[in-house]
Amino acid sequence: MKILKIDHIGIAVSSIDEKKNFWTDALGLKLEKTETVVEQNLITAFLSVGESELELLESTSDEGPVAKYIEKKGEGIQHVAFQVENLEQALAELKAKGIQLIDQTPRKGAGGSKIAFLHPKATSGVLVELCEK
């Protein structure tokens, strides 16, 4: 598996409109794009930080994974995403090593990327996303 970079850090927020100002006004980050990802019940907003990004995540449903995360743990860092060269190969390699996966196969993520999550039980409690663009 070849990890290319930390792609982004996902931050769960109750409202992108209410929370983005800290990142844009106080820290001066540029809001690059927002997108609704219907399959995941969320709206994303990406802010550039050098070669990486921050991804603000707002749930569009009380049953969505981000809403459940906020209900359980509150707002804050929800996941760390690593960009990989070949997502299918990375998942096969991790599965062969006995790493517990949430996604056995890639699914569609924001911006048309392919994504898959590793189970936090295998990563010291950190939700890890792998993505391929």
Express each pLDDT in 12-30 by its tens digit. 999 999 999 999 999 999 9
Express each pLDDT in 52-94 by its tens digit. 999 999 999 999 999 999 999 999 999 999 999 999 999 999 9
Q: Set out the domains of the chain in order of their start, with CATH numbers.
A: 3-132 (3.10.180.10)
Q: List the structure tokens of 60.
A: 């569009």
Q: Is 2 exposed, middle or buried (0-12, 13-18, 19+ CB in 10 A)?
A: exposed
Mean pLDDT, rounded, for 36-48: 95
Q: How confident is the model at residue 77, as a pLDDT?
A: 97
Q: Which amino acid is at 99?
A: I
Whole-number Å distance between alpha carbons of 45 and 47? 7
Express each pLDDT in 100-115 by its tens digit. 999 999 999 998 999 9
Q: How confident is the model at residue 28, as a pLDDT?
A: 97
DSSP state at residue 25: I
Q: How confident is the model at residue 60, as a pLDDT?
A: 97
Contact 130, 91 (CB under 8 A): yes
User: What DSSP letter does each residue of 60-87 carry, written as one string?
Assistant: SSTTSHHHHHHHHH-SEEEEEEEEES-H
